[in-house]
Amino acid sequence: MSILINKETSVLVQGITGKEGSFHTLKCLEYGTKIAAGVTPFKGGSLFNDSIPVFNTVAEAKSNIKIDATVIFVPAIFASSSVIEAVESEIPLIVCITEGIPTIDMMNVKSALRGSSSVMIGPNCPGIITADECKIGIMPGFIHKKGKIAVLSRSGTLTYEAVNQLTEAGLGETTCIGIGGDPIIGSSFLTFLKMFENDPETEGVVLIGEIGGTQEEEASEYVKNYMKKPVVGFIAGKTAPEGKRMGHAGAIISGGKGTASEKLKIMKKNGIHIAENPSVIAETMLKALKKH
């Protein structure tokens, strides 16, 4: 099994004819993803890659084709409108790859998502992949191999490092999600931890956090109270100075809150197995599985 996507998922690409959209659409197709249609305003009626219909709006695409998920490769200035268009069309899963979306725009997106039937991943994220079945986003597909460990991460590159280790260790992956590193994102760790706990094929979860915010602390409370599966955690940014932005817009320490040491202390207290450095993520998971 998997969560959210599988080999039958029918995917829409918003911004399919742009440079990023067209490049990554082809990569998703190569992986086996079912790209059903694309959206680019004023290019409706054309075909992408000689076979994929392009529509002017999300509503038009959905009225003609079954759509289970959409991925957004739209410039930051238009991205929030694209997300809201997908929410209004009741697309179940929205994956926004775009980075640099203004915070005020994301506040409007969060308002639109509230009470809707859509789940959003991103923005500023690598997307989601169910190993050997479906890739929605920019993750390098070749490092993934179907297995039993889920990966949840705020960091794109560390996601790839964790996945590569899990594959080489023979553990493999179920579904991997990069949730995004901005201060305001569509869904937090909590949304997906609940899904993974209920997924019978997921036997453990790797959770990769960063300094800044309180997501990791909230996730660790959920792990302590509700999860029976082992969770391995790693926090990036141990050496970051207070008050300085490091990498992602969400990775900023303020007033002593959101430090790596504070997060790790709480996570460990709540039963998460801590990987002391990124090179031992799979090794830590193997040990955690034996303890369970």
Q: Per-residue pLDDT for 157 more than 80?
A: yes
Q: Domain extents for the chain? A: 10-121, 140-291
Q: Do domains 10-121 and 140-291 have the same CATH topology?
A: yes
Q: Percent of the chain having pLDDT more than 70?
A: 93
Helix (H, G, I), strand (E, B) or coil at 251: coil
Helix (H, G, I), strand (E, B) or coil at 91: coil
- Overall CATH class of domain 140-291: alpha beta
Q: Per-residue pLDDT for 252 more than 90?
A: no
Asked if residues 249 and 101 have their Cβ atoms less than 8 Å apart, the reply is no
- Return the pLDDT at 255: 46
Architecture in CATH of 10-121: 3-Layer(aba) Sandwich (3.40)
Q: Per-residue pLDDT for 249 more than 70?
A: no
Query: Cα(60)–Cα(242) distance, rounded to whole angstroms?
Result: 48
- Return the pLDDT at 2: 80
In what order do the strands lie in the sheet containing 69-72? 47-48, 52-55, 34-39, 10-14, 69-72, 93-96, 119-121
248 among known catalytic residues? yes
Q: Which of 144, 248, 273, 292 is catalytic?
A: 248
